[in-house]
């Protein structure tokens, strides 16, 4: 049985978590990528975009948009994955390099940009675990 019953639950959980990062110090890591990052999910289908709308060091650290709202922006980096895989990734249960090698996660764009995120993810994983601990249905 999938973790997310529908797209709204996916957006409420993973998207809601991303929105908490917009005002967190860790949210500044989006500027290390150098542009928009799109997450494309399957089972259920969904799209969430991180867009570094303000300059580095200002708040919010980036903007989050969903579904068709994200279609007007060309991402520098796209991650495509099953929603359950994404959930496990943000819990810190799946290593980015291994997920890419096993094709659990597909990256489109500059992998060197994706790798800039790696050193910062250890600080983000506990935030997701705490967030989903407080979200019903996730």
How do the pLDDT tens digits run along the chain, 138 residues long? Answer: 889 999 999 999 999 999 999 988 888 777 777 789 999 999 999 999 999 887 777 778 889 999 988 888 899 999 999 999 999 999 999 988 888 889 999 999 987 877 777 777 888 999 999 999 966 445
Domain boundaries, the chain: 7-129
Q: What pLDDT, on the 0 to 100 scale, is given for residue 137?
A: 47
DSSP annotation string for 61-103: S-EEEEGGGGGGS--SEEEEEEHHHHHHHHTT-S-HHHHHHTT
Sign (positive/negative) of CA torsion 10, 1, 45, 105?
positive
Q: What pLDDT, on the 0 to 100 scale, is given for residue 32?
A: 73
Q: Write down the CATH number for the domain with range 7-129.
A: 3.30.1050.10
């Amino acid at each position: 049985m999938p973790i997310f019953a529908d797209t709204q639950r996916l957006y409420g959980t993973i998207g809601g978590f991303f929105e908490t990062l917009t005002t967190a110090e860790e949210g500044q890591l989006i500027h290390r990528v150098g542009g928009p990052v799109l997450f494309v999910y399957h089972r259920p289908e969904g799209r969430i975009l991180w867009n570094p709308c303000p300059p580095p060091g200002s708040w919010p650290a980036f903007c989050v948009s969903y579904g068709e709202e994200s279609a007007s922006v060309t991402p520098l980096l796209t991650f495509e994955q099953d929603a359950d895989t994404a959930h496990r990734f943000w819990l810190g249960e799946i290593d980015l390099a291994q997920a890419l090698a096993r094709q659990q996660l597909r990256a489109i764009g500059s992998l060197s940009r994706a790798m800039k995120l790696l050193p910062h993810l250890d600080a983000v994983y506990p935030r997701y675990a705490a967030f989903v601990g407080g979200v019903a249905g996730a």
